[in-house]
Amino acid sequence: MKKDIHPDYREVVFLDAAANFSFLSRSTVKTTGTIKWQDGKEYPLYRLDISSASHPFFTGKMKLLDATGQIERFRKKFAKFQKPAAETAKPEEKK
**Sheet strand arrangement including 42-48:** 21-27, 10-16, 42-48, 33-36
Quick one: pLDDT at residue 74?
A: 82
**What are the two backbone dihedrals, phi and then psi, of residue 77, each rounded to the nearest 5 degrees?**
-65, -40
Residues whose CB falls within 8 Å of the CB of residue 18, separated by 6 or more in sequence, listed in order? 49, 50, 54
Q: Is 2 helix (H, G, I), strand (E, B) or coil?
A: coil
Percentages (nearest 5) of helix, strand, coil residues in the chain: 25, 25, 50
Read off the pTM.
Answer: 0.56
For 53-76, the pLDDT digits (tens) are 776 665 666 555 556 677 788 888
Q: Where are the domains of the chain?
A: 10-85
